[in-house]
Every structure is written in C-alpha cells, then in structure tokens.
Amino acid sequence: MGEPKNMEVCGSVMDGVAEKGGVLESPSKKTPVEYKVYPYRWAVLFIFVLYSASNAMQWVQYSIIQDAVAAYYGVSSITVYWTSMIYMVTYIPLIFPASWLLEKTGLRVTTIIGSLGTCLGAWLKVFSVPQDMFWLGFTGQTVVAMSQVFILNVPPRLAAVWFGADQVSSACSIGVFGNQ
C-alpha cells in the first residue's frame, strides 16, 4: 500500500508530507496570509455597545416605576415585576439555540436578528400606551427579552474575530459594558 494522500495531525487533516518531528509542510510552499486591521472596527464595537444598551435599558423599564405602571394599567405589582423576570425566564431555554446560531451563521445574522427583535419589541411597547393594552406591552417586553440572547454571546466572539490578540480582552470588556 502507498502513502496516504492526507495525513491527520491533532485531529485535523492536512495535505503534505511529515518532516522530522511531525511537522507538516505544505507542498505548495505558499507564504502566510497577512491580515490587515482597520480602525473602523472600533466604530463597529461602539455601535454594538449602543445596540446592547438599547436592549438592556428596556429590561427594568417597567419595574423601576412599578407602582405607577400598576396604577396606570390596573394590574398587580407582581405582573409588572414579571416584565423584568421575563428576561431571565426566556434566557434559560433560548441561550443554547442562540449560541448554536451564532456558531453556525456568524455575527451578522445573529446581531441582525437581535436588533430587529429589539426594535420590534420596543415598537410594540410604544403601541401599548392605551390603558387596556398592558398585554401588548408585556408581549413587546417578551420579544425584547428573547432578542437579548442574541446579544449576550456577541462580545467575546466580536473581540476574537475583529481584534488582534493584544486587544481581545479590551474589546470584550468594552462590548460587555453596553449591557451593564
């Protein structure tokens, strides 16, 4: 039998022939690819921080003034508190599919889904101003809460993809800052 065409090293298949010490060398001898980084990646990070903040500020929007909201809509205090708790309830089952989607489709798709959901939920809450429309405001809050799962996984991925090794921790911490 002849030599295998591909050799497996550390779980990955690479073309080439093994040299001394198990190092593989490509038969084509191509030069390494050099990546150019652009300053606008910081602008993208800043836009993400604003996007994350626009979702996070809606988390406690009703519960910080729960007495006024309860009186206006004629609902109980616990119902108003559920507008905040819905964020945590939706996070638990949806974080796994959202993480999978981020891994499979990338940053663009998941951030677009999250931003559209945040926008839709905010508009639903705008249309819930009449006193008999608390249910619509709660629906909007649920949509925004579901959109949150598309936001919370983004900072480490954004930092790893768009920033160099010497800037990853700074970019990740800045990205997380938007949700705080």
Exposed/middle/buried for 21, CB within 10 Å: 0-12, 13-18, 19+? exposed
Q: What pTM, to 2 d.p., does this model score?
A: 0.76
* Residue 104: inside a domain: yes
Residues composing the chain: 180
* Residue 130: inside a domain: yes
Supply the range of the domain harboring residue 82. Answer: 40-177
| Contact present, 126 and 136 (Cβ < 8 Å) | no
Please state, in angstroms and rounded to a whole number, the distance separating the CA atoms of residues 97 and 156.
Answer: 17
One digit per residue, pLDDT tens: the chain, 180 residues? 443 444 333 434 444 444 444 444 555 566 766 667 778 889 989 999 999 999 999 999 999 999 999 999 999 999 999 999 999 999 999 999 999 999 999 999 999 999 999 999 999 999 999 999 999 999 999 999 999 999 988 999 988 888 888 888 999 999 898 887
* Residue 4: inside a domain: no
* Residue 11: inside a domain: no
* Residue 22: inside a domain: no
* Residue 3: inside a domain: no
pLDDT for the residue numbered 100: 94
* Residue 93: inside a domain: yes
In the chain, how many domains are there?
1
* Residue 15: inside a domain: no
CATH code of residue 130: 1.20.1250
Query: Which phi and psi angles does 73 have, rounded to 5°?
Result: -90, -15
